[in-house]
Structure 1
């Protein structure tokens, strides 16, 4: 560790002091206080999670879903991409896409939302975050009471496959209600109809 701190051995620069976690881990306040952090850094279980470069599939899929959600979004809701959701002192993930209550929007520069303001979160599975996307994040979203969760997997020919989940109040966990390929048609949280083959035309 001394070598890393002096800049000797592995790497050419010293370990930044601001990256050294506090005894009980980083908090959501730290996430917004540390201005040196890369954009779209997340906080999971008190640890900072740095963003990886998005693949074209990942970026196009999230754009397709966000655009599809916006087309039929009712006036009392809004669609956002990659904005932090505050779930607790050490939990501040950033879903790929989210639907929030309109009254939670304080302006175009709003950079975080409380869990109570979130209706739907969407996570598109990426190779570097597969375990977090499939396991840990759904646990955190469910515990925070977010009612709708979509997990998006990469299907054949790089087309998205959307696994739709609904929060079960009795268990406090998500229940899978459907797996959608080619087309995503739902009535909750509102009327939604998205052509999942649309990435071919983007």
Structure 2
């Protein structure tokens, strides 16, 4: 049997691939743990939930944070995911010279319809290793929110599942701001 080595890419390698045209804006990919991963296509419930959650959080947090939708965050040295929502520090340059890094990220939210397993088993460890203090997954199928907190190199130490119906949850960074979980989801989904 022949042994094959896998080439793992760095964020710098990934950026060079974009700069030279090897990867283009039309490529729906993200860098996860050194591997260039094709992103899943979005079905309407995923897209609509992402848009609704973005609009709600953008209005709610407009004076304390930027809310970014489906834009990269840089987790050196080998990950540059594009989370559905990233709540980040306000930046006077609007992140024109870099993508947000872990010390600028308050909260990351992924929206899951068919990606729940990957968001829990692949992305959660990456976000925990990077020290992201607050990671939520919105499960559009069950209207549940998976909340991950207390990051370590081994993963998140605190994990809980919350039903969105009439529940309020405050982000770690903003304990005095109550987010209505019900407002993150479309009302007409089962």
TM category (shorter chain) comes to 0.7 to 0.9
Query: What is the TM-score when the length of structure 2 is the normalising length?
Result: 0.77
- Flag the structure with larger Rg: 1
Aligned to 2:61: 73
Which of 98, 111, 133 does residue 124 from structure 1 map onto? 111
Aligned to 2:164: 181
Aligned to 1:143: 129
Correspondence 1:43 to 2:26: no
Q: Please, which runs of 5 or more residues in structure 2 have no aligned partner?
A: none
SS of the residue 2:100 aligns to: strand
Please list, as runs of the form range in 1=range in 2, the aligned pairs for 1:47-58 lying within 5 A after superposition: 47-58=35-46
Which of 7, 11, 14 does residue 28 from structure 1 map onto? 11
Q: Structure 1: how far apart are the matches of 2:156 and 2:42?
A: 29
Per chain length, whose mean CA-contact separation is higher, i.e. which structure has more relative contact order (CA < 8 Å, sep 6+)? 2
Give the Å deviation of 1:125.
2.1
Q: Structure 2: how far apart are the matches of 1:55 and 1:198?
A: 14
Aligned to 1:167: 150
Correspondence 1:89 to 2:77: yes
Distance change (3 Å), C-alpha of 1:75 and 1:180: same
Q: Please, which runs of 5 or more residues in structure 1 have no aligned partner?
A: 1-21
Give the Å deviation of 1:147.
0.7
Q: Tell me if the contact between 1:99 and 1:119 (Cα under 8 Å) persists in the aligned partners.
A: yes
Q: Structure 2: how far apart are the matches of 1:172 and 1:134?
A: 11
Q: Structure 1: how far apart are the matches of 2:48 and 2:157?
A: 26
Distance change (3 Å), C-alpha of 1:197 and 1:142: closer
Give the Å deviation of 1:76.
3.1
In the alignment of these two chains, the number of paired residues is 175
Distance change (3 Å), C-alpha of 1:101 and 1:55: same
Q: Structure 2: how far apart are the matches of 1:32 and 1:170?
A: 25
Give the Å deviation of 1:39.
4.4
Give the Å deviation of 1:31.
2.1
Please list, as runs of the form range in 1=range in 2, the aligned pairs for 1:149-160 lying within 5 A after superposition: 149-156=135-142, 160=143
Query: What is the TM-score when the length of structure 1 is the normalising length?
Result: 0.73
Distance change (3 Å), C-alpha of 1:183 and 1:174: farther
Distance change (3 Å), C-alpha of 1:197 and 1:137: closer
Q: Structure 2: how far apart are the matches of 1:184 and 1:111?
A: 35
Distance change (3 Å), C-alpha of 1:178 and 1:25: closer
RMSD of aligned alpha carbons: 2.8
